[in-house]
Structure 1
Amino acid sequence: MTETYQFSDPRLADLDGFGVVIDMAEERADIVLDRPPFNVISMAARDQLRLVFEALDEDNRIRVIVLRAEGENFSSGGNIKGFMEASPEHVSKLAWNIAAPARCEKPVIAANRGYAFGVGFEISLACDFRIVSETCQYALPEQKLGQIPGSGGSARLQKIVGVTRTKDIVMRSKRIPAKTALDWGIATECVADSDLETAVDSLVRELRGFSPLAQRTAKKLLNDTDDALLSTAIELEGLNYSRLRQSEDFKEGVEAFHDKRKPAFTGR
């Protein structure tokens, strides 16, 4: 059963175009874009989204965060007029705000259907998992405005699909259909539109079955070694493996394996 999440930060007293609900039984928080019909993300919302991710990351009741939207479209992108009204200092923080899901220690799932353009695509790329319905279309259309992606979109995309495909997408403002996104490794899973919520629910339950400590460690290790030399990545992997060997969760996992029972992880 979900309930509206209550924030103590006064800056989050009136959320701009989105809401946050929590399901205590599922240890799950949902950030829900809700500005129909296209869920345009305002400049103010970008600041608030960062603060929301930071607050949810600190809440020990929550294991998994889901970023989703009401309606047929995830988001058509940002408020175009808002770019002209924002100060250079504010614009310089766009990428930092939209990278909040990546900095979050907890697993973050993006549920994408319909349009996921511009910042809608960029914030999805900053999530750990992207579950897409067959209606989903990704795009970075900034070239049509005489601009380039400004919130990490082209950089993150190039890491996933390479420079050739990224040039094709960015320089031509090309739309990527859901099945292509899956084939190219952008999407984690592609399902029928009617199955999107079920697929997300299933992934949330799966992730909750693992050790919170091991999940946090794996996410940070993979993020930190994305640009590292292979030798450096292997060294860091070994150091983190050694650290987890001392954890209560690893001890519990080993004992549960031998006892043929489900482990009861505590995150310690």
Structure 2
Amino acid sequence: MTDPRYNHPLLAELDGFRIEIDAETQRGDIVLDRAPMNVISMPQRDQLRAAFEALDADQRVRVIVLRAEGEHFSSGGYIKGFLEASPEHVSHLADNIAAPWRCAKPVIAANKGYTFGVGFEISLACDFRIAARSTRYALPEQKLGQIPGSGGSARLQALIGLARTKDVVMRSRRISGQQAYDWGIAVELVDNEALEESTAKLVAELCEFSPMAQRTAKKLLNDSENATVATGIELEGHAYSRLRQSEDFAEGVKAFHEKRKPTFVGR
């Protein structure tokens, strides 16, 4: 990719994935593409972080999508890589996989088939998960004498609670797409052939909103995730006050009274 935003040394030769940008739909995709299971290598984790950061800085992109080629999203990480990597490198695994969470822009994970290990963990770091009916989520590290190492157990517990997370992590249990939807892990459950269509619809919906309001909402929700209700309300009040001065809010109010669709500019 010749765009200077993608001149990061880590992105010179992509390992197991590609980046696609559709300026017309304001969409940037990170596509896992290592057939047949889309195994994620150790170097690939660093590259994925750099890819998310580049897309987050790209003004052509409003929404980032993480998806995969083939039948499965990802069967997880390259197992031997854990033994080959240094302890220092392994200690940063969660930082790399948290890249979608750190993005200011909305990030969608389009899941299907096996979504195991780090594939599940990076999906949990995204803002929205759309699950095809074929999806099977799992954190199977107990079978290797290990535990999830990229934030999976912590993020999952925040979503589904302690008892269910113990059931999933300590038994290396697989969760169907239906159960993930019922538990609130996935925001949509769709037929396999409708996964791309549903993802595109969500991208288009998110692009209808003010980019400034979206960035603010995401940061507020992330920052207040572990806050008390009182602290969360305080943070919300400060964020609301800042948006009150924005051009987008003025446009939104004006459009509401004029009964028309607002034109947001992100200021």
TM-score bucket of the superposed structures, by smaller chain: over 0.9
Asked whether the equivalents of residues 40 and 79 of structure 1 are also in contact (C-alpha less than 8 Å), the reply is: yes
* Structure 2 equivalent of residue 181 of structure 1: 180
Q: Which residues of structure 2 form unaligned runs of 5+?
A: none
Once the two structures are superposed, the pairs formed by residues 163-242 of structure 1 within 5 Å of their partners are: 163-242=162-241
Determine helix, strand or coil for the equivalent of 2:31.
Answer: strand
* CA deviations over 1:78-113 (Å, ceiling 9, x no partner): 000000000011000100000000000000000000
Question: What 5-or-longer segments of structure 1 have no aligned partner?
Answer: none
Which secondary structure state, in structure 1, belongs to the residue aligned with residue 30 of structure 2? strand
Partner SS, residue 131 of structure 1:
strand
The residue correspondences of 1:56-71 to structure 2 (distance < 5 A) are 56-71=55-70
In 2, Cα distance between equivalents of 1:31 and 1:130 = 14
Moved over 3 A (4+): none
Distance verdict in 2 for CA 1:258–1:5, change over 3 Å: farther
Task: Show CA shifts across 1:152-209 (max 9, x none).
Answer: 0000000000010000000000000000000000001000001000000000000000
Q: Is the 8 A contact 1:5 1:20 kept in 2?
A: no
Contact 1:40 1:78 in 2 (8 A): yes
Aligned residues: 265
Q: Which residue of 2 aligns with 1:255?
A: 254
Counterpart for residue 103 of structure 1: 102
1:14 Cα deviation (Å)? 0.4
Which stretch of the first structure deviates more once superposed, 103-112 or 4-13? 4-13
SS state at 1:60 partner: coil
Contact 1:5-1:21 at 8 Å conserved across structures? no
Give the CA RMSD over aligned residues: 0.8
Cα deviation for residue 18 of structure 1 reads: 0.2
**Alpha-carbon distance between aligned partners in 2 of 1:222 and 1:160, rounded to the nearest angstrom:** 13
> Could you tell me how far apart the structure 1 residues matched to 2:168 and 2:2 are?
37
- State TM-score, norm by structure 2: 0.98
Three-state SS of the structure 2 residue aligned to 1:65 is strand
